[in-house]
Amino acid sequence: MIRKIIFKFFFYTGVIAVFIIFLPALILPQKIVLVGGKILGYWIKFCLNLFLSVKVEVKGIENIPKNSNFFIASLHQSLFETFFLQAIFNYPVFILKKELLKIPIFGWHLKKIGSISIDRDKVSKENLGFYDKIISITNSTKRPVIIFPQATRTQIDDKQPFKKGVSKIYEKLNFICVPVALNSGTVWPKSGKLNSNKTITVSILEHIPVGLDPDDFLKKLESALYSELEKIR
């Protein structure tokens, strides 16, 4: 119990410190703020290892495309991946709930790094331009977009059908998709109860090529991620 309290204290203190340190950078070029996200990715790995004896193993680094535009479809079980994936990939763009942008300081950083928001509860003019915004950002910056096909954090045993939005992005972008499976829910589940002395495995799978029927793509993605989850959980 003490170790978990210490972990939360140091981790969240570090997060707040990074946001405060990089606060002046909000008026500077975007690349400076993006460095803060990468720092937080390594910070969460460091804190998990130091305070909870949790190892982080990354498999399939060689599957990250080097010369092609791509987007990332990742399982979502905890706060871990929202931070750590920034350490693996080249300054990814997150698709997130609009409400997160309203949080003071945190929301300002999300806007500055180019996060794309969507109001999931209603159809709006902003939502109608959602896919055009993704295309514009990815083409102009070459940064990969990260989407969580489950749409929210889930328990590791909860294999929800993927939302069709990810297949729409696949169709509109015409980019290859890099699936990412992980088992962070074994350490930091949605319930918030932390576990120690475990290994978080992040598995970067072979990309799914362009040109598939959107429904076939969705089935292939879901099968690939949930099959890999069974291997690493």
Q: What is the pTM of this model?
A: 0.89
- Compute how many other C-beta atoms are within 10 angstroms of the C-beta atom of residue 144: 20
Phi, psi of 46 (to 5 degrees): -60, -45
Sign of the CA dihedral running 11, 12, 17, 22: positive
Say yes or no to pLDDT of 125 above 50.
no
Provide the 8-state DSSP code for 208: B
Counting Cβ atoms within 10 Å, is residue 59 exposed (0-12), middle (13-18) or buried (19+)? Answer: middle
The CB-based long-range contact list for 160-166 (8 Å cut-off, 24+ gap) reads 161/222, 162/218, 162/221, 162/222, 164/214, 164/218, 166/73, 166/218, 166/221
Sign of the CA dihedral running 111, 115, 118, 124: positive
Bin 206: left if φ > 0, else alpha if -120 < ψ < 50, else beta: beta
At residue 124 the predicted structure's pLDDT band, cuts being 50, 70 and 90, is: very low
| Cβ proximity of 169 and 230 under 8 Å | no
At residue 115 the predicted structure's pLDDT band, cuts being 50, 70 and 90, is: confident
> Which residue ranges make up each domain of the chain?
2-232
Q: 2-232 belongs to which CATH class?
A: alpha beta
| Cβ proximity of 156 and 129 under 8 Å | no
Question: From CA 49, how far away is CA 172, in angstroms rounded?
Answer: 40
pLDDT in tens, 21-77: 887 767 777 778 888 889 999 999 999 999 999 999 999 999 999 888 899 999 999
pLDDT in tens, 175-223: 999 999 999 999 998 877 899 999 999 999 999 999 999 999 999 999 9
| Cβ proximity of 170 and 177 under 8 Å | yes
Q: Residue holding tokens 């040109």?
A: 211
Counting Cβ atoms within 10 Å, is residue 127 exposed (0-12), middle (13-18) or buried (19+)? Answer: middle
Q: Residue holding tokens 């992980």?
A: 182
